[in-house]
Amino acid sequence: MVMGGLAWIVIMSSLNAGAQTAVPAWVRARALAVYQLVFQGGTALGSALWGAVASKFDLPTAFMASGFGLILGLVLTSRFRLAAGETLDLTPSVHWPEPTIVIERLPEDAPVLVTVEYSIDPKQASEFALAMEALKVVRLRDGGMNWGLYQDSADPSRVVESFVVESWAEHQRQHERVTQTDLAVEEAVRSFHHGESQGVTLGLHDRVQKDLIIPFPYPPPKSSSSEADHIRPESR
């Protein structure tokens, strides 16, 4: 019993520390809430399960079955491991510049449309779309919605990324959520950009502006070819 108690304390400490270090600081409270919910819920369900087994059979059978379950869990951990987070640098990069605005916005103003303009080589469309697939995950994880990638029908080298944020305050929080690992993803995308800087524009979503841009072929084609016909405009 003493060894079991010591093992329980060690496992609990390791799990609590792992749950806190595996997520960025801005989402840590929510991650811990989910962790506690699953942990406590699993404890309650396990108690009911083994109580039912003991009632139907006897206590030795319930203890024996739970012991085999622990051994099976140890065997499965060698096959089904949690994704390692040691390679992720979750330190905030704080590299997004502060937006330049003329009209003062209230924190509750919503929604906010964010667009990022890229100038790429049309022959690298496939590789660019693959890089954008990783960036899409980052945008949606940090609070973006309705993510899209568009190509200018008049200028095939002009590609516009857009996503909507719930409010102006939520967009300001996004500046604090970008990590060093996310910065590496953005740099991979930026390597396809030809120009001094990317054009980033912000605006309220209810301000409709018409343009000649059409959806960029996304997801990227499965073929590894990088011919320019991969970014031929498709009509809807």
Torsion of CA 180, 215, 160, 204, to 10 degrees: -90
- Encode pLDDT of 90-109 as tens digits: 788 888 887 777 777 788 87
Instruction: Give the whole-number percent of the chain exceeding pLDDT 70.
Output: 81
pLDDT, tens digit, for every residue of 152-195? 889 989 999 999 998 888 888 888 888 888 999 999 998 998 87
Q: What pLDDT does residue 147 have?
A: 94
The 8 Å CB, 24+ separation contacts for 187-192 are 188/131, 188/134, 189/118, 189/128, 189/131, 189/132, 189/134, 189/135, 191/131, 192/118, 192/120, 192/121, 192/124, 192/127, 192/128, 192/131
What whole-number distance in Å separates Cα of residue 80 and Cα of residue 201?
43
Radius of gyration of the chain (CA): 25
How far apart are alpha carbons 150 and 211 in whole angstroms? 11
pLDDT tens per residue, range 198-233: 665 555 444 444 444 455 555 555 544 443 344 443
Give 36's contacts (C-beta < 8 A, 6+ positions apart): none
Q: What are the tens digits of pLDDT across the range 45-96? A: 988 988 998 898 988 888 899 889 888 888 887 777 766 556 777 788 888 8
Domains of the chain: 2-77 (no CATH), 112-231 (3.30.70.100)
User: Given this model, what pLDDT does residue 221 score?
Assistant: 55
Coil, helix or strand for 119? strand
